[in-house]
Amino acid sequence: MKAMILAAGAGTRLRPLTNRLPKPMLPIIEKPVIEFILELLSKYDVKEIMINVSHLAGVLQNYVRSGYRFGVRVGYSFEGHFEKGQLVPEPVGSAGGLKKIQEESGFFDETFVVLCGDAIVDFDLAEAFEFHKASRSVATIISKEVQIDKVSNYGIIVSDSSGRVESFQEKPPAEKAKSNLANTGIYIFEPEVLEYIPKNQFFDIGGELLPLLVQKKERVFSLHTKIDWYDIGRNSDYLEILAKALGGEIKGFKPSGKEVTEGLWRGTGSLLEKTTKIITPVYIGPGSVVQKNVKLEGPVMIGANCRIHDDVELSNVFLGDYVRIKPGFKAKNLLITQEYYVGSDGKGGMLADSNLKRYVSDVRTMEASPANK
């Protein structure tokens, strides 16, 4: 089985997080989302992978490269064009991306799996493959039950008792939902589905290809299986997932560094004053300094080479690398980087344009202090 990872989206709903990073490169503590996906595919011996890229394509490609260090072989399909020596992103949709790859290379010559690059997933891919083959399906959708009051956030699948898909509902209100099975954006396809995708046209898998296959009476099935699925669709989702990662809720994930006590990780070269009050889970990145009388109420993540000055209190706060927190600052439910901030409500903006700028700055502008001498 081969695979494709969808990574061409601009991530507009995740701004400012995606101003400099494509969605699949958003770090979970230090580990980009796409690394979780590559590890899953490698675990199930899916070695040949294509990734479509567009927005900030070079950032992802420079990190993953050939895929060698993840035990896989990766190729890339750029969606866009050159203009005056510059790459101009021009996404063609999730299904359009499949068609483009097939037209150019004929890559999809056997059963293949498609995964969205902006979600951390863990499920039994071998079981899903067996279901797909046993049902003689041309398209299998991996689905997950969601709470009925959450259905309006998802594409909903309506299927019969055997799992054969009858129709779809796009983000229906709870009172009109015919099901609570959400489309996770994970699919297993046979190559013949590509015949239904038009050339040189923006075309989507969930909104266009799958409904077309059902309309044409093709065998499309939904597999409701046990799956860990952490979708980063909104800024608030990202903060929640960071908290789950620190809390040990993402299977197989642990922050790097040394776990000095349960739930407290310290990176190499970090300094922590004895007067610090800590309620775990807390991660302190390499080279970071936490000064006197600081309170850290987890989940708290402090990136690499940060400086947390005296009398600071942080609760459910995530700091990017090279951030300085000035003395006396108190914050809750925030992600802060050198450039921007995001709250747990999903709202955020550029740091320079906010009141936070009084308390937060780039660590490289910090005046000398005893911790640096």
Read off the pLDDT of residues 100-121 as tens digits, 9 standing for 90 and up: 999 999 999 999 999 999 899 9
Nearest to 180 by CA among 214, 215, 224, 219: 224
Q: How far is CA 64 from CA 36, 107, 177, 200, 238, in A?
A: 12, 19, 40, 27, 21
Distance spanning both ends of the chain, measured CA to CA:
57
Question: Shortest CA distance to 197 belongs to which of 302, 97, 289?
Answer: 97
pLDDT at 193 over 80: yes
DSSP secondary structure code for residue 142 in this structure: E
E-assigned strand segments in 273-312: 277-279, 282-284, 289-290, 295-302, 307-308
Q: In 10 A of CB 216, how many CB atoms?
A: 10
- CA dist list (Å): 273 to 33, 258, 289, 292, 307: 32, 17, 8, 6, 12
Of all residues in the chain, the percent with pLDDT exceeding 90 is 64
Contact 288, 257 (CB under 8 A): no
Q: Determine which of 105-119, 124-138, 221-235, 310-324 has the lowest per-residue pLDDT on average.
A: 221-235
Contact 134, 162 (CB under 8 A): no
Other CB atoms within 10 A of residue 91 CB? 18
Spell out the residues 6+ positions from residue 268 whose beta carbon is closer than 8 angstroms to its own: 257, 286, 287
Q: Between these two residues, 186 and 9, which has the higher pLDDT value?
A: 186
Q: Are strands 323-325 and 360-362 parallel, antiparallel or unpaired?
A: antiparallel
Q: Which residues pair with 77 in a beta bridge?
A: 52
Q: Quote the pLDDT of residue 365.
A: 55
Contacting residues for 266 by C-beta, under 8 A, at least 6 apart: 257, 258, 260, 272, 284
Domains of the chain: 2-233 (3.90.550.10), 236-365 (2.160.10)
Given a contact cutoff of 8 angstroms between Cβ atoms, the answer to whether 121 and 227 are in contact is: yes
pTM of the model: 0.88
